[in-house]
Amino acid sequence: MGLLSPTLPDVDLAEWRRRPHLDRIKLQVQHWGEQGFGTPAGAYLFYVVKMVAYLVIPLAIIIATTPGIGGWGQIGEWWTEPIVYQKFVMFTVLFEVLGFGCGSGPLTMRFFPPVGGFTYWLRPGTIRLAPWPTKVPFTGGDTRTVVDVALYAGLLVTLGWSLASDGVSGGPGGAGIMNWAFPLATVVLLAVVGLRDKAIFLAARSDQYFLMAVAFLFPFVDMIIALKLIMVAVWWGAATSKINHHFPFVVAVMISNSPLIRSTRLKRTLYRDFPEDMRPSTFAKFTAHQGTVVEFVLPAILLFSTNTVLTTVVLIGFTIFHLFIISTFPAGVPLEWNVFVILGSWFLFGHYTNADYAVWDATTAWPFVVAALLVAGIVVGGFRPQWVSFLVGMRYYAGNWATDTWILRPGLEERMNEEIITSAPMTKMQLLKLYDEDTSEFMMQKFSAWRAMHSHGRAHMGLISRAVANREDHVIREGEFMAGGLLGWNFGEGHLHNEQLLAAVHNRLHLAPGDLMAVMIEGQPFHRGTQSYRIVDAAAGLIEEGTVSVSDTIARQPWLDESGDIPVTVTRRATSVSANGTRRSDPGTVGNR
């Protein structure tokens, strides 16, 4: 195999394309169980180089621009300087908001160029999505203007300037701390830019780094304590979100994709009875919940331990934990975030120990205000997931997010590519520069199979038949990659490719009913055993909404066994039946399953 050659199943791809949709899904799911996505070897090299750059570039900048910091040979003496951590945070925000972090590169189907981010957000005319366009003044519309570009450019300049700045007096060490003006300007600009375009706000990973920048405005002791609380809240929030039936599906899918685990025999043990029963095995469930325990217990020890030996052992454990996550190259590839967490945990808990910087040493209430804001996001995301991003709700890896499947009339993908202003071709067109038509289509549909392997993905596969009379007459795409091509960024956030993006596409292409539909499924609330869904036509509006039972989704195979459908409880639907293939059932069955 060459560096760019994917691992494909031993089938005739042209013949595979003629099979029914759910049969195609079955073959791809079984292939994923042993080979994962089948990623070309060159893709992994890209991410290794990127992680090295993520470490080397900020260190080189810090050494070159920060008085009081030594050279490469003295890293052991100055890496604990407060301004080093502050600049590393600011560099991470810059790295992410440029598009080089989460959602970049070939594992997210970005090839030419390998990033979206700044290539879209510095270009007027591209699509932008405001979080509250009808409620916040001066944020309406869905087209990026020169003002939007200027605001985003101002954020980039501020972050870059902060990296090159001298320290001011404060904190231990000889290099000082960052001038408060830089984090303040970053917070203000991120907020203003975010009110105009939520994709940029989320791409900056504001769920964490926004409040870290706020913490940089606190007195030094309170800053360290606030940063500790932020990190613990992230771990605990993620752990809390994983107490569900969805997470074992994520673990099985993620480990199956690990390039470092070569044993197909081991990968098969992740499933109940490979290849016919692809539900997670007892082994997969144990592995998943063991990780959840780690994220609950170890942060508690770090937050309260005053024993340096115990703290060091826990930090080593967390380092191994996050290195394992990196080794699986999870979808969305949040690799640099895991690197950041490893480094940050050693800085905050290994050096600034609880002997001098424990939570009970806070001099003001501000660290606890920050922690309360994070907890509020977790609570709201848990009980009202439709209100906030899964990132704000700290649902990392939980398998319980808002998700969308787009259903397109043939030829519409090509129209999007030609008629909507973007900075890169749509995903399928990028693949066609590397592979033939059959291979490109196989790789595009592999992500639908990846979605089907998750618990909510079963619902997607079943609900397609409620959206259209014959799924074989349509092109079915994972919504995340449609958003990536249209918006410049994708990282598992289903709220970026819901009705708002459908409307933006409709405004540009003037679609007819039946041209573009989407199945949208919201995350499961803590207190309910169901997930809400909507089926929407970009031109005609809502087709149907209702709920699916989680107990039904987790009991089925990704290809839905023999039924090809899934039980639903309908709460609302359109009353007409269109002639374009859109299926709108009789209103008399509302409430039935």
Distance of CA 104 to the CA centre of its chain: 11
146 and 114 within one domain:
yes
362 and 423 within one domain:
no
Into how many domains does the chain fold?
3
Tokens 């070897």 identify what position?
41
State pLDDT tens for residues 111-138. 889 999 999 999 999 999 999 999 999 9
554 and 483 within one domain:
yes
280 and 189 within one domain:
no
> For residue 561, what are the CA distances in angstroms to 33, 549, 565?
17, 17, 9
195 and 86 within one domain:
yes
Average pLDDT over residues 504-525: 98
| Exposure of 126 in the CB half-sphere (CA atoms within 13 A) | 28
252 and 151 within one domain:
no
Instruction: Give the integer Cα–Cα distance in Å for 162 and 166.
Output: 8
515 and 412 within one domain:
yes
First to last CA, the chain: 49
Q: Is residue 34 one of the residues assigned to a domain?
A: no
Q: Which two tokens mark 259?
A: 């390039």
Instruction: Give the integer Cα–Cα distance in Å for 486 and 416.
Output: 8
Question: Dihedrals φ, ψ of 502, to 5°?
Answer: -55, -40
Q: Are strands 530-537 and 167-168 parallel, antiparallel or unpaired?
A: unpaired
State pLDDT tens for residues 301-350. 999 999 999 999 999 999 999 999 999 998 889 999 999 999 999 999 99
Q: Is residue 9 one of the residues assigned to a domain?
A: no
- Provide the residue type at 279 as one letter: R
State pLDDT tens for residues 385-440. 999 999 999 998 899 999 999 999 999 999 999 999 999 999 999 999 999 999 99
pLDDT bin (cut points 50, 70, 90) of residue 461 is very high
Q: Is residue 183 one of the residues assigned to a domain?
A: yes
Q: For the CA atoms of the chain, what is the radius of gyration?
A: 24
Q: What is the pLDDT of residue 589?
A: 39
Q: What is the pLDDT of residue 248?
A: 96
- Boundary-marking domain end, from 362, 391, 420: 391
Average pLDDT over residues 101-106: 92
Name the residue among 143, 142, 144 with its Cα closest to residue 121: 144
Q: Which two tokens mark 565?
A: 């459908």
Average pLDDT over residues 247-270: 94
Q: Is residue 409 one of the residues assigned to a domain?
A: yes
Q: What is the pLDDT of residue 586?
A: 40
At residue 202, the 3 state secondary structure works out as: helix
Q: Are strands 541-549 and 530-537 parallel, antiparallel or unpaired?
A: antiparallel
- Boundary-marking domain end, from 217, 249, 279: 217
Q: Is residue 21 one of the residues assigned to a domain?
A: no
State pLDDT tens for residues 351-376. 999 999 999 999 999 999 999 999 99
Q: What is the pLDDT of residue 38?
A: 87
Please provide the average confidence, as pLDDT, over all residues in the chain: 93
Q: Is the pLDDT of residue 558 over 80?
A: yes
Q: Is the pLDDT of residue 514 over 80?
A: yes
Instruction: Give the integer Cα–Cα distance in Å for 361 and 218.
Output: 14
- 43-73: b (≥16 Cβ within 10 Å) or e: bbebbeebbeebeeebbebbbeebeebbeee
Q: Which two tokens mark 409?
A: 């009339």
Instruction: Give the integer Cα–Cα distance in Å for 223 and 154.
Output: 25
Q: Are strands 516-521 and 530-537 parallel, antiparallel or unpaired?
A: antiparallel
74 and 169 within one domain:
yes
The DSSP bridge partners found for residue 143 are: 127
326 and 194 within one domain:
no
Helices and strands, number each (H, E), in the chain: 25, 10
- Boundary-marking domain end, from 345, 366, 391: 391
Q: What is the pLDDT of residue 332?
A: 87
- CB 521 within 8 Å of CB 402: yes
Average pLDDT over residues 71-78: 94
- CB 59 within 8 Å of CB 87: no
Strands (E), 215-350: 271-273, 277-280
CA torsion sign, 286 to 388 to 203 to 214? negative
Instruction: Give the integer Cα–Cα distance in Å for 446 and 429.
Output: 16
At residue 261, the 3 state secondary structure works out as: coil
Q: What is the pLDDT of residue 3?
A: 62
Domain housing 341? 224-391
> For residue 337, what are the CA distances in angstroms to 46, 296, 386?
16, 19, 25
> For residue 56, what are the CA distances in angstroms to 95, 237, 350?
13, 30, 22
Instruction: Give the integer Cα–Cα distance in Å for 357 and 342.
Output: 19
Greater model confidence, 568 or 585: 568
Average pLDDT over residues 436-460: 95
334 and 417 within one domain:
no
114 and 245 within one domain:
no
179 and 109 within one domain:
yes
Q: Which residues contact 380 (CB under 8 A, 6 or more apart)?
A: 387, 388, 392, 393
- CB 100 within 8 Å of CB 115: yes
- CB 570 within 8 Å of CB 589: yes
Average pLDDT over residues 486-505: 96
Q: Are strands 167-168 and 516-521 parallel, antiparallel or unpaired?
A: unpaired
Q: Which residues contact 428 (CB under 8 A, 6 or more apart)?
A: 413, 440, 441, 444
3-state helix, strand, coil in the chain (%, to 5): 55, 10, 35
Q: What is the pLDDT of residue 576?
A: 60
